[in-house]
């Protein structure tokens, strides 16, 4: 049976680094799952658009699509924007929306990868405070998830971990940096919990001026690519179960 096409849905940005990073991540996903067709669509600012990709797939005769939001939390885009776009897909397409990427232990591993690439070592964990800096949201569920991730990450050995937000919510990154200094952490690192460069990640970087270490965005980290495939497989679970029952 032909596997559904994986359609990765990114927000889009006027910043060309955003699309370049999304495409790099998609290339890594393809390298991990040869033979899986992976397409990319953007909600805004960048082409191809999600409706355009869906129309093209339908015209080719594709029947099954798993639409995967390239988002770290279930906020407005995952709950409203993307379902609204997918609801207008051509009738001949069966489109299933996969879950967002976070939270996931693999994303914590990717965050640590970026911190080590920025100069930290595992031996630094107990003396280093980390700011988990996300884009921010007005959605209480999304804010609660970021706070829970920070608490979980703290238990892996860091001196302390504090959430921070680039917009819509408080505290800001610079405030969290000051708090960790006041706690007595020997050094402070900022880990952007964002997928690609752009306006808000740049704001996080500026706000991290007083930190000792600033990690890169998650980008095409192998752990992120593996999460995408996990979400794709989970969205296919009913189909796979039906195939197994037929073969029993």
CA distance 235 to 99: 8
- Longest C-alpha distance within the chain, in Å? 62
- Nearest Cα neighbor of 38 from 21, 57, 55, 51 is 57
- Taking 70 as the pLDDT cut, the residues of the chain under it are 1, 238-248
CA distance 68 to 229: 10
All residues at 6 or more sequence positions from 213 whose CB lies less than 8 Å from its CB, including other chains: 115, 118, 119, 120, 128, 187, 188, 189, 190
What DSSP state is assigned to residue 150? H
Residue 64 tokens read as 């099954």
> In 11-166, where do the E strands start and end?
38-42, 64-69, 94-97, 128-134, 160-165
All residues at 6 or more sequence positions from 105 whose CB lies less than 8 Å from its CB, including other chains: none
- HEC-encoded secondary structure of 195-223: CCCCHHHHHHHHHCCCCCEECCCCCCCHH
pLDDT at 221: 98
CA distances from 233 to 6, 33, 98, 145, 193 (A): 10, 11, 9, 23, 24
CA distance 229 to 227: 5
Phi first, then psi: what are they for 98, rounded to 5°? -80, 165
pLDDT at 238: 65
* Residue entry with tokens 């990717």: 110
* Residue entry with tokens 């776009």: 85
CA distance 160 to 114: 17
Question: What's the start-to-end Cα distance of the chain, in Å?
Answer: 16
pLDDT at 48: 97
165 neighbors 199 (Cβ within 8 angstroms) = no
Query: What Rg do the C-alpha atoms of the chain give, in angstroms?
Result: 19
What's the pLDDT tens digit per position in 162-209?
999 999 889 999 999 999 999 999 999 999 999 999 999 999 999 999
- Nearest Cα neighbor of 172 from 181, 163, 180 is 163
pLDDT at 79: 85
pLDDT at 44: 93
Q: Is the dihedral of CA 23, 26, 30, 35 positive or negative?
A: negative
What DSSP state is assigned to residue 80? I
């Amino acid at each position: 049976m032909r596997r559904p096409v994986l359609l990765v849905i990114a927000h889009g940005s006027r910043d060309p680094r955003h699309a370049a990073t999304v495409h790099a991540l998609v290339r890594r996903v393809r390298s991990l799952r040869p033979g899986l067709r992976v397409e990319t669509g953007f909600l805004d600012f960048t082409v191809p658009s999600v409706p355009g990709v869906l129309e093209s797939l339908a015209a080719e005769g594709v029947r099954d699509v798993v639409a995967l939001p390239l988002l770290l939390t279930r906020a407005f885009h995952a709950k409203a924007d993307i379902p609204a776009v997918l609801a207008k897909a051509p009738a001949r397409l069966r489109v299933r929306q996969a879950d967002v990427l976070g939270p996931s232990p693999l994303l914590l591993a990717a965050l640590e990868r970026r911190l080590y690439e920025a100069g930290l070592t595992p031996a630094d964990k107990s003396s280093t405070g980390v700011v988990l800096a996300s884009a921010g949201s007005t959605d209480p569920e999304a804010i609660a998830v970021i706070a829970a991730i920070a608490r979980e990450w703290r238990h892996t050995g860091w001196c302390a971990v504090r959430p921070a937000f680039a917009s819509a919510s408080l505290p800001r990154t610079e405030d969290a940096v000051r708090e960790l200094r006041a706690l007595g952490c020997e050094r402070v690192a900022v880990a952007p919990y964002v997928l690609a460069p752009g306006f808000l990640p740049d704001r996080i970087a500026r706000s991290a001026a007083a930190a000792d270490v600033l990690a890169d965005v998650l980008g095409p980290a192998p752990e992120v690519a593996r999460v995408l495939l996990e979400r794709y497989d989970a969205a296919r679970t009913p189909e796979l179960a039906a195939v197994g029952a037929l073969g029993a």
